[in-house]
Structure 1
Amino acid sequence: MEFQELFNGIVVQGLFEELSNFFSTHLFTFGGKQFSIGSMVELLFQLIIVLVISNLTKQLLKQRVFPGVGLNIGTSESLSTIGSYVVTLIGFFVVIESTGINFSSLTVFAGAIGLGFGIGLQNITSNFISGITLLFEQPVKVGDYIEVEQLAGIVEDISIRSTTIRTINNVFVIVPNSRFLENGVVNWSYRDPKCRIVIPILVVDESDSLTVMEALLAAARQESRVLAAPSPEVYFKGLDAEKSMLKFELLVWIERPIEQDSIKSALQFLIEAEFRDRDLDTKAAPTDIVFNDLPTIAQLLQGIQNGSPPKAIAPDKPISGWLLRDLLKKVSYFQHCSDVELRQVIEKGYRKKLAAGEVIARENDPGDAFYLILSGAVEVVVESIDQQVAVRRSGEFIGEMSLLLGTPRSATLRTIEDTILFIVDHANLQSLLSSHHELADQIAEALSQRQEALKSLGVTVTEATKEETPFQLIRKQIESIFDL
């Protein structure tokens, strides 16, 4: 037993000596200092510690120190990055000094290396210096919305070599820092984020200019993201002689430049609605007559020459289908909605295709949406008694009661043929009701006339009138469900 322990001790001691000799193996001499495998491992470990301390310093400054001072996100990001670089640089020199390297003996070598790097790494050096310039001068900061070389997006991060930009399509683009100093940069967030956007408008030359101005200003004042001060303006730019159209420009101020495309689109919808209400036309009259169907024209002329009256030519395809706007107005609760209000529903709703036999919603499911049937057919089945109570076809709507009152589904909805639905969900309707409070009153008024609405809430008319009217009960229910 003692022999075995002695043998094991000799083996362990031998292994230790082998490892010691391995880590003591001389590799090279640099700056008057001999480097072995062990010293290189130690040096690498020290450098890792420096990098960890540098990263912790950056996070501490960015998350704890600068927010307490009241600095904005861009400035705190820049200063914390600079702080981490300073810690890294100091730590690097401390580690090198601790190894015993003689810097004076490296002067010529460092000069040669620096020259080689300067020639071979011009772009990296340029980006490095540009990164330092961006961090100190801050013409571009983290959080800014910028445009550079037809690339637009929000600055997510500025590093020593490159800058990360997130576009409005949520695509991350890595841009070398030198491009920000070599090219013109549009910084929409610099100093004052407010900016003015211009929407050109053409109307037929017979239009009344004052009516056009009134319509444009009315549209601008309906968009909540347009600032009231500075107020919207309309410029009359004269006549477009080539198109025989009057040229106008609507100028509005906004404070979130990244939303300018969305705001322009919303304004175009509002302008179209205002123009339609005032019978303003934006389509120029055709100046050329184009004969697209010469055989048909010849047939008509031949009939006239023979003394027979011309017959109406039936179109190749019958006009069919409904506009979503018209379908929504068939729902009693939306009958009095303006086109602008209905546009919000249409914008945020979505279509869904279902095969025959698919279940749309089951009995007792939460009412989180209602459906317009664009094509196909849907059966309404009460599964508790296994009975079909109705069949809804294209142009009809289903499931609105559960959504509006927040009650469970009273029946199962199932397609009986291939069907396309337009779906209005809870979030969609909540957005509409939040911006148009009078619509909630209209819906409550319509529902209060329906006995099944009160019944679904477990209230009879006689019970309702003791303390609150049916309208008040339903209005409170809608406010609770949609957080109004």
Structure 2
Amino acid sequence: MKFPKSINITPPLFVFLILLFLVLTEVFYFEKVNSKTTLDRIFFLIIHISFWLSAAYLFNSIINKFFWGGINKIPTGSFLLNKIKDFLGVLTYAIVLVIIFVNYFDVESKFGLLAVALIATLIGTFIRPYFMCFLRSVFLSNSVAFNIGDWIKLSAINSDKEIIGEVDNIDRRNLQLKTESDTIVTISQSSLTDFVVENFWGSGKETRLEINFNFDKYMPVKRIKRVLLAAAEQSLDDYNLISSNETEVIIKQITDDTIHYTIYFWINPWAQISPEKIIDKIISTSVEYLQISGLYFADEKGGDYLISTSTEIKRIISSIDLFDTLNENELIELANGINETEFLKEEKVIKENDEGNSMFVVVEGLLDVFVNSKDGKQIKVGRLTPGDFFGEMSLMTGDKRSATVICLTDVLLYEIRKESISKIIGNREEVINEFGEIISRRTRLNVEFKEKYEKSKQSFLNEIVGKIKNFFKHG
């Protein structure tokens, strides 16, 4: 565990031990005399009062360093925890002052004294931040907007220079940052006025980051948002970055013929992953999904994107391995018979054990695949992303649905029905063996299929081909 280096307990501990020695050895011993104040009494009071105040300071330093600075580290900006910390710190000094007045100035320990001490503690709790702010303005050139261990970005006001790193140490003169490359950067407190400070961990560990995209204003907003959201969700899932805050895609502004979109997402930067790495992942996945869906960035291509054209559909299905062996005319015929279908988030596309005679190609969005366990519980076994397909066994063999597929986001699917495949098989019967060969190589996502796949390759191929022929009444 890392503790603040700026809280050094060695000097107060050294002072406390010296004063403790002087108190215990009674070097300045004084018998109480009411008639006069002697020089011995003055030294006696100085030593004993200093001892109690040093004890309070040492106690607060230890608590601030090892508890508030480590075990229960307070996020910058946490009002409640900071007030509790301030209250306990002021209370320590209030208790010490009561001890001093009672023991050395013959003040009786009554309810009134304790009430005054408590009121002073409450007042001190709320004025302490202003008092510390005043001290910083006098002794430091810049107020501290971060703690030890926070990740911050310093952006120069008059240039493009940026420094990103973990706050390694803070003292009255310098700020030390440890960068991602483990380089220590030292910045003087006086020069911090030339930078804008962004604290990634300012109000907690999670930080909202953003990525901006520009698209032609004629492109459908719903489709753009669906693709970008799917790319962000899948990228975060790939790195197992789970947040209680939802990922969002919003329109930030419109300028001329361009719509500016922004993806907002939450991560624990550097503790989980560096922002640069996850941003690169989301952008790369967005480009991949946009290419699959036939959408383009601003100024790349013009046209109407509200409904997929036959050419776009053919381009997408031609990339699916199930249709690798189809010729150009067969792909065109298949594309012409495809239904474009939209589903909403959390909507069920197919259900395990239901009848079915169609398959689906994922164009936009994300879906999760579930199978039922022996005790009836749904188990997630996979994730479908743009370019994936499912339901091919029901389409080709008439088998019942082997899994349940639920939309994780809004999705756009291409549905291929039995009638479209029947036309192709009717014109070229040998395509049955080609479909059977491809399907037999695919590993299904549910347990039942995996057990079947343990059969020999040839026997399994023969079983698939036989089912296809029987389903389409051939042979």
What TM-score, normalized to structure 1? 0.33
Larger RCO, structures 1/2 (Cα 8 Å, 6+ apart):
2
TM-score by length of 2: 0.34
More helix by share: 1
